[in-house]
Structure 1
Amino acid sequence: MSSTLLPAPALRIGPIALDAPVVLAPMAGITNTAFRRLCREYGVGLYVSEMITSRALVERNATTMRLITHHESETPRSIQLYGVDPATVEGAVRLLVDEDRADHIDLNFGCPVPKVTRKGGGAALPWKLGLFREIVTRAARAAGDIPLTVKMRKGIDTDHLTFLDAGRIAEDAGVAAVALHARTAAEFYSGQADWSAIAALKAAVTSIPVLGNGDIWSADDAVRMMAETGCDGVVVGRGCLGRPWLFGELAAAFGADHRLVDANLGFVAGAFRRHAELLVEFFDDEDRGCRDIRKHVAWYFKGYPVGGDTRARLATVSSLAEIDDLLATLDLAAPYPGAAAEGQRGRAGTPKRPALPDGWLDSRDLAEEATCALAEAELDHSGG
């Protein structure tokens, strides 16, 4: 729990003014409408959708069209796009703008998943400077008055860093902000994020906001990142898993008028139940919504006195009534457990050699054979 108070920094992304310099990072299978609504109930900031594949969007895939639909309470509406073909990305941006489906659009160039980088997409793509420039320039032009931002990683590995070049290109292309996950694709989510890279990007990109991402597990971490790097805001991913009220703590830490919660077991159980209820509404299917909440069990109850049998049963629920019965068996007065509930959560993985198209690193120009591989790169994988 943070007790740090600072004057509220102003963060403006294009015409969007945020009460706190905080952005929810897109996470596949996590940051759907249900989770975004829950985070909003606790705090303030910009809450970004799951990553949307540009090709699926322009083809009006039914699942994709549902994922880009926001609840009426969601303002501003923020959507992240992933794509590798300039024309397709441009078409996806135009669709969002022409049909008034977004108030902010983010482009993902941070995905480290091998199935994406193997085809030259995600964190591998900024290595090809011309391709990156064309995608971002055409997307920014298509966005018009809607602010377009870019999220990226440091690069492919320590020998092939791309973030400074990419940041400058994005700035010149007219994007409204850039965000850096301070790891390379090779690091995946392992080790410690290199916040000095965020400071370097902030020094290189001076006319638009620079946002930092990586290892923000608490409000104190966010305050420290901004103090150490000079970045204009923070992007929070795994730190809010099972802890959507972190956005309230962040708001309070940055001087917004938000009350800190007492996260005892009763409070956490209530948040878990609310999340399940919102998922049922999102899927319009109680069984599916309850199946989706199962993956959140370990995150919500990390460090709390919830027995293994109860955890196992919560991880197999199929109805809200079943959730209610199980939560009623808990000691809801159990206090917040402190350090046991804090720190890293979510996937970490281990460093690995990035999967890349043959000869990808030989040149920063896009070879003809690589263009064919890129056509297969638009897959539904999380990034960042």
Structure 2
Amino acid sequence: MSGDSSFKAEPTEVVPPATAAVETTRAGTAPIKAQYLKANRKRPAEEVVASPAANDAAFEAIHDTKRLKGEETTSAADDHDQEKLGAAAPKQERGRKDKKRRGQNKGRERAHAGVSDEIRLCAEIAQGKICHREPNCRYSHDVAAYVAIKGPDLGTECPVFNVYGKCKFGVKCRYGGAHTDANGNQVVDEEKAARVSESDVVKNTCDRDFQKKIRGRDIETPRTDAYMNWLIEAKAKRAEIMDKQNKEAAAAKNAESGSKEIDVATVLSPEEEEEQVRRQAEKLKKREERQAILDQFDHDPANIRFRCDRKKMLDFRGKTYLAPLTTVGNLPFRRVCKSFGVDITCGEMAMATNLLQGQQHEWALTKRHVSEDIFGVQIAGNSAQSILKCCESIKQSGTEVDFIDLNLGCPVDAITRVGAGSALLETRGKLYDICAGATYVLDDIPFTVKIRKGVYTNSPIAARLVPKFWECGVSMVSIHGRSKEQRYTKLADWDYISEIGSNIRRSADMKNLTFFGNGDVMSHEDYWQHLEQANVDGAMIGRGALIKPWLFTEIKERRVWDISSTERFDILKQFVNYGLEYWGSDTQGVNCTRRFLCEWMSFQYRYIPVGLLEVLPQKINDRPPPFYGRDELETLLASSNSEDWVKVTEMILGKAPESFQFIPKHKSNSYENDNYEG
């Protein structure tokens, strides 16, 4: 799997130009040693490109709006996994007509990032099999024509063949020489193929028949139906109680003021009396039926709130947790983090409504690699009906999960406008009904929540919500120490997190609730300081893991790892191997892997090598001035230019097609406003 081998990655010391100016370190600026600083100069406009952050969340808003509407957000162009071949966002109104395009999703043309072959060869024919759809097959059967335009192999080893003993892409594979004999026939390692199947390696591949059933609403969800019937009657009973309380309050007020209620009742006719009796009998019957439904579940008679049996609590104390990350928290990236020792992983946020529509690309977000020994699925929704049905459907599908997490932290406007994500934090009654219902529906599967400190910066509400989560059976709460309003500006408020943790530990009831903090963990010092001082059971890590996935090793070993450029490059190659294995080793899979490698590099370039820093550790929101690395490769890996990211992919995956364009999603160098993590 070698690309352009002309690049020299040896760690030879690069001598910075003599004109490099020494800058005085300012607040918010990373303290880089003077000898590595580049000369002070204004970067030309064409070099200013996007980092992984967006103050306006333009792309995320479009992407998540489409997902909420149930629209396809990817370019489905082949028979294998198409769930993440995402395309650039469609046009949107420009804020300023003359603003230069700097990779910020500025109303750009819809350009497909998933580049496929000019000739789309039938998958059956590519494997040397017989196509049973002929003559109605819409794909080409001309193998010779395909091979003529395919281009040379990108390497000598096929990641798919190495794992499974066969390659389902056949002659379409860009590493086909590894499993093609001298006569052009596909080779199969029978022993390995018999021993290892895809379902052994990648779990939770949703059955097509199940998807059809759920799309046709043919899946029964008895626990959800029972709870929703109870909830409807509970709401009516609550309204009745509230109406009675209002009438009693009004009567008391009238009594205090000395006013008397005038009886304006008139004499009723026999027919009217009969109708009144009939209505009262119907009202009494409905009340009895409602009470029978309410009595099916234990509840607080004062406010008709559902009470759950306490489940076995999650014991995540002392375990490292990779936060669920939109787009970049894909299965290959999670595998990279597993190789560095992370304990808990969670899939990317999936929309409950899309899962209930049976959308394949959404169900793909529940996939789990066999190495992910503690794995959860994160969902988002805006109603008890959709969230509960989604939870029960996931359970019925046979999806192997250790917990299901509800996203209550997503700050993206497209999500919060419809009442999902962090918008649910302000609907405490509704939120209680959702969490209590999910706990009941999931039965033995733990239900967890990920929240922010609140919607508004000056009005944190998380401390009031945590006891309610405990009451309705939530097994774990993780809190991001920022509000929805803040997004990622300022520092995470670990003092507030510590205050909540202290309340939990002082409570006789809540002391068994697992509680994690989240925000700005970038070093093992950050991690252990929070565990020792913030009254938390653990710290969830998001951006820190994207920038330096070896952070989990640093945490486990309590050491600083001055990782070399060649070691970092090997990590990228490891990701590519995992990506080709997951997305495919044909042209489409190669360029899907290329795209997601670029997405990840839009974070990883922000890493500052340990040997370049005057003061340790690196802080996540500190911006580095332009600097040289200790060798050419280290300098290249620190580049914020997206063209350099594509160049790095070419060193591993070969020359990118002319039609391949990577336009970063977000605004240039906005370190404080990433929207990948809720």
What is residue 76 of structure 1 aligned with on the other side? 374
What is residue 455 of structure 2 aligned with on the other side? 156
Q: Distance in 1 between matches of 2:483 and 2:638?
A: 38
Does 2:423 correspond to 1:94?
no
Contact 1:19 1:44 in 2 (8 A): no
Which of residues 440, 443, 464 in structure 2 aligns to 1:141?
A: 440
Contact 1:108 1:383 in 2 (8 A): no
Q: 1:160 to 1:98 in 2, by over 3 A?
A: same
Which of residues 99, 123, 127 in structure 1 aligns to 2:422?
A: 123
Q: Which amino acid aligns with 2:335?
A: R
For 1:261-292, what per-residue CA distance to the aligned partner results, in whole angstroms no more than 9, with x for missing partners?
Answer: 55111111101111122122222211111111
Q: Which amino acid aligns with 1:238?
A: R
> What TM-score do the two structures reach when normalised by structure 2?
0.44
Contact 1:248 1:260 in 2 (8 A): no
Does 2:418 correspond to 1:114?
no
Contact 1:32 1:49 in 2 (8 A): yes
What is residue 6 of structure 1 aligned with on the other side? none
Q: 1:71 to 1:308 in 2, by over 3 A?
A: closer
What is residue 315 of structure 1 aligned with on the other side? 645
Q: 1:161 to 1:299 in 2, by over 3 A?
A: closer
What is residue 349 of structure 1 aligned with on the other side? 673
Secondary structure (helix, strand or coil) at the match of 2:492 reads: coil
Secondary structure (helix, strand or coil) at the match of 1:77 reads: strand
Q: Which amino acid aligns with 2:474?
A: V
Q: Distance in 2 between matches of 1:347 and 1:59?
A: 36
Deviation at 1:18, TM superposition (A): 4.8
Contact 1:20 1:251 in 2 (8 A): no
Greater percentage in strand: 1
Deviation at 1:93, TM superposition (A): 1.0
Q: Which amino acid aligns with 1:64?
A: E
Secondary structure (helix, strand or coil) at the match of 2:579 reads: helix
Unaligned runs of 5+ in 2: 1-310, 505-509, 610-628, 656-668
Q: 1:34 to 1:346 in 2, by over 3 A?
A: farther
Q: 1:244 to 1:65 in 2, by over 3 A?
A: same
Q: Distance in 2 between matches of 1:309 and 1:223?
A: 28
For 1:186-212, what per-residue CA distance to the aligned partner results, in whole angstroms no more than 9, with x for missing partners?
Answer: 111110111111122213333301110
Q: Which amino acid aligns with 1:348?
A: E
Does 2:554 correspond to 1:249?
yes
- Write out aligned runs for 1:155-174 (5 A): 155-174=454-473
Aligned residues: 318
Contact 1:20 1:44 in 2 (8 A): no
Q: Distance in 2 between matches of 1:260 and 1:146?
A: 37
> What TM-score do the two structures reach when normalised by structure 1?
0.76
Q: Distance in 2 between matches of 1:57 and 1:242?
A: 30
Q: Distance in 2 between matches of 1:166 and 1:19?
A: 21
Q: CA RMSD in A?
A: 2.7
Secondary structure (helix, strand or coil) at the match of 1:150 reads: strand
Q: 1:65 to 1:110 in 2, by over 3 A?
A: same
What is residue 203 of structure 1 aligned with on the other side? 502
Q: Distance in 1 between matches of 2:670 and 2:522?
A: 11
- Write out aligned runs for 1:1-384 (5 A): 14=312, 17-18=315-316, 20-101=318-399, 102-205=401-504, 206-207=510-511, 208-253=513-558, 263-284=563-584, 285-301=589-605, 302-303=607-608, 305=629, 306-307=634-635, 311=639, 312=641, 313-316=643-646, 322-323=651-652, 347-349=671-673, 382-384=676-678
Q: Which amino acid aligns with 2:438?
A: A
Q: Distance in 2 between matches of 1:38 and 1:233?
A: 21
Q: Which amino acid aligns with 1:130?
A: G
Q: Distance in 1 between matches of 2:453 and 2:673?
A: 17
For 1:95-143, what per-residue CA distance to the aligned partner results, in whole angstroms no more than 9, with x for missing partners?
Answer: 2222231111111100111222233321121111111111111111112
What is residue 332 of structure 1 aligned with on the other side? none
Q: 1:290 to 1:14 in 2, by over 3 A?
A: farther
Secondary structure (helix, strand or coil) at the match of 2:539 reads: strand
Q: Distance in 2 between matches of 1:95 and 1:232?
A: 31
Range that drifts further, 204-213 or 43-52:
204-213
Contact 1:125 1:132 in 2 (8 A): yes
Deviation at 1:309, TM superposition (A): 10
Deviation at 1:44, TM superposition (A): 3.0
Secondary structure (helix, strand or coil) at the match of 2:324 reads: coil
Contact 1:43 1:250 in 2 (8 A): no
For 1:308-338, what per-residue CA distance to the aligned partner results, in whole angstroms no more than 9, with x for missing partners?
Answer: 599555422596x642679xxxxxxxxxxxx
Deviation at 1:70, TM superposition (A): 1.1
Q: Which amino acid aligns with 2:652?
A: I
Q: 1:309 to 1:242 in 2, by over 3 A?
A: closer
Contact 2:338 2:371 in 1 (8 A): no
Q: Distance in 2 between matches of 1:314 and 1:18?
A: 40
Contact 1:51 1:383 in 2 (8 A): no
Q: Distance in 1 between matches of 2:636 and 2:319?
A: 38
Secondary structure (helix, strand or coil) at the match of 1:34 reads: helix
Q: Distance in 2 between matches of 1:218 and 1:141?
A: 38
